[in-house]
Amino acid sequence: MTTQTNNLQESLNRLINKSPEIIHENANKDADVFNTLRDLTAGTVAKSIGLDMLPEHVRLAHENGDIHFHDLDYHPYMPMTNCCLIDIPGMLKSGFKIGNATVATPKSIQTAAAQIAQIIASVASSQYGGCSVDRIDEVLSPYAELNAMKHRKVAQQFIAETERDTYVHQMTAKDINDAIQSLEYEINTLYTSNGQTPFVTFGFGLGTDDFSVMIQRAILNTRIQGLGTQGATAIFPKLVFSLKDGINLKATDPNYDVKQLALECATKRMYPDILNYQALTNMIGDFKAPMGCRSFLSAYEENGEFINNGRFNLGVVTLNLPRIAIMHPRAENFMTELKHRLEIVRDACLFRIKRLKDATPQNAPILYQYGAFGKRLNVNDDISKLFLNRRGTISIGYIGLYEVGALLFGPDWEKNNEAYEFVLNILKTIKHFADALTELHDIQFSVYGTPSESLTDRFCRLDFERFGAIPNVTDKGYYTNSFHYDIRKKVTPFEKIDFEKDFAQYSTGGFIHYCEYPSLVHNPEALEAVWDYAYSRVGYLGTNTPIDQCYTCGYTGEFRPTAAGYTCPECGNSDPDTTDVVKRTCGYLGQPLKRPMVKGRQIEISSRVKHMSTRDDLL
């Protein structure tokens, strides 16, 4: 038997025996379900074949943990793409085709919402990353207006003139609420071809017309209400609410009440995360929601107009930064080796691009022929026209900046100016390298703070096996995501934002900030103070607050972490059927009792401390 065959058989045996690092690699996949198990089996085979397809030095670097070639269960065996912003406006306006059905422009918000759910399911089955619907309130507004026009015609025939406006408003509001609630339920009951609920994000909040504002309220109220008779927290879609001065930021802004509703929603459901209009625009050139949980597109223009919908990411390759520091603990040696490892990442990214050029429009009709990627290609067209000229992005990821600082400067390096500047210079170096590749290849190379859902475990585990227990590095059982402040340290939300904001400037291809809070249900003013402080400082901010529920004893708050999961602190319940435990896995939320996470991620989440304010009027 060949080495490849032996490795494949070993991986299949681990899958059959339900090895946690395989079946819990993706917290959105339920490994007990037939179609998920089938996908995991197919992915194990595809990963083995894909590894053999890689250039040898890239394969070896991946296998030994110097880099991570993401999503090997899909790519390069299949030339599939990663995350995207679906061109929902174009598809609804021009119609599209799914399977054997040609779908016409919707004539109501209910039909538009139903079509969006079908588009999401089809897109998510044709790629392997997250997909987003940007400005969904503004997208659906014209279709809500069609509902209002129909109700107006009825009112003119049967309703007294003095009551017509009220009737039209009430009926349209009901239509909007029903459509949004149906959309939420449809997404959470979907299973894509890869055995998981679609990783989908809704961006909203900037619409100012009456219908857009009604849709914003419906999205937030639906999420607050929860799913089912017990009001469980919906995991998808991820909600990202846009804040903009003059629209909803201040008490004098016309839609400030929607911000208040968003604050209530975040205290009860963690979502929405927020996008700060001016800070984000300054960072990435124009404003848009992330693709999936954190992948951002750079500014791109056609005929003088910014284009975002229909653009996508080609994949990610991530650097193991702590590995470099372990092997090269002197600063000057670290930077030399970093540049060498970046060359391997470059070759891995170029291979991803080369492989993607093998795809044809027929491979993913919803993406290439029917509008999800914006332009509609003919059967014989070259798909590379959709990502050349910097229309698409490919990402250089990184993990473990905290651990690098700890190795080179000590565990409390965050307050050491020399250490801070050195660690920041690591990202500057990666960004400079990515910019040079962009100029050379005319594809946008971006720097990406990797979410590391399973990689936070894999890299640390490999380095522990090779180098042993290193204090504040491999002994923790996890590596720290992207540029985040050490999760074990007690700092205020304001200090954490100030520490991280400069790092994000050099990681504009993928980033998120978040703060950990105690329960904020009775103190939304505290959360608003952080949101307002962050507005001019960071582009993207998430809220982590305890929202766990026990349906047996009625407890609501924070469940107690254990080695295997979580238990109710009141009655000890850990039954996934009678609890609702929700944690932020990375950019997305997860339900660790229903769909357990890898060991390193479980340890990392359990190690997070609350970012408490020293201001008594806040937290």
Tell me, rounded to whole angstroms, the distance of Cα 150 from its chain centroid: 38
Amino acid 520 reads L
The SS3 call for residue 594 is: coil
Q: Catalytic residue, from 28, 212, 295, 446: name it.
A: 295
40 Cβ neighbours under 8 A, 6+ residues apart: 15, 22, 23, 29, 31, 73, 195
Q: Catalytic residue, from 477, 587, 590, 600: name it.
A: 587
Q: Which two tokens stand for residue 265?
A: 């929603």
The C-alpha angle with vertex 541 and arms to 537 and 547, in degrees rounded to 5, equals: 145
Q: Catalytic residue, from 83, 84, 265, 349: name it.
A: 83
Q: Catalytic residue, from 91, 265, 283, 291: name it.
A: 291
Q: Catalytic residue, from 270, 293, 460, 515: name it.
A: 293
CA distances to 242, 249, 282, 296, 339 from 278, in Å: 10, 12, 6, 15, 33
The SS3 call for residue 472 is: coil
Which residues is 380 bridged to in the sheet?
none
Instruction: Confirm whether 550 is a catalytic residue.
Output: no
Is residue 463 a contact partner of residue 457, using CB atoms and an 8 Å limit?
Answer: no
The C-alpha atoms of residue 109 and residue 214 are separated, in whole angstroms, by: 12
Instruction: Confirm whether 291 is a catalytic residue.
Output: yes
The C-alpha angle with vertex 496 and arms to 234 and 599, in degrees rounded to 5, equals: 55
Q: Catalytic residue, from 138, 453, 495, 604: name it.
A: 453
Instruction: Confirm whether 587 is a catalytic residue.
Output: yes
User: SS3 for 140-199, per residue?
Assistant: HHHHHHHHHHHHHHHHHHHCCHHHHHHHHHHHHHHHHHHHHHHHHHHHHHCCCCCCECCC
- Neighbouring CB atoms inside 10 A of 22's CB total 20
The C-alpha angle with vertex 193 and arms to 367 and 16, in degrees rounded to 5, equals: 140
Burial 522-556 (b: 16+ CB within 10 A, else e): ebbebbbbbbebbbebbbbbbbbbbbbbbbeeebe
Sign of CA dihedral 200, 201, 207, 211: positive
Amino acid 322 reads P
Residue in 606, 588, 593, 619 with CA at minimum distance from that of residue 270: 588
Q: Which residue has the tokens 């912003």?
A: 85
The C-alpha atoms of residue 403 and residue 284 are separated, in whole angstroms, by: 27
Instruction: Confirm whether 82 is a catalytic residue.
Output: yes
35 Cβ neighbours under 8 A, 6+ residues apart: 191, 193, 195
Residue in 376, 374, 367, 366 with CA at minimum distance from that of residue 302: 374
The C-alpha atoms of residue 542 and residue 611 are separated, in whole angstroms, by: 13
Instruction: Confirm whether 453 is a catalytic residue.
Output: yes
Is residue 273 a contact partner of residue 43, using CB atoms and an 8 Å limit?
Answer: no
Q: Catalytic residue, from 194, 212, 298, 313: name it.
A: 313
The C-alpha atoms of residue 353 and residue 314 are separated, in whole angstroms, by: 7
Instruction: Confirm whether 83 is a catalytic residue.
Output: yes
Q: Catalytic residue, from 143, 448, 479, 506: name it.
A: 448
Q: Catalytic residue, from 82, 122, 194, 574: name it.
A: 82
- Catalytic residue numbers read 82-83, 291, 293, 295, 313, 448, 453, 587
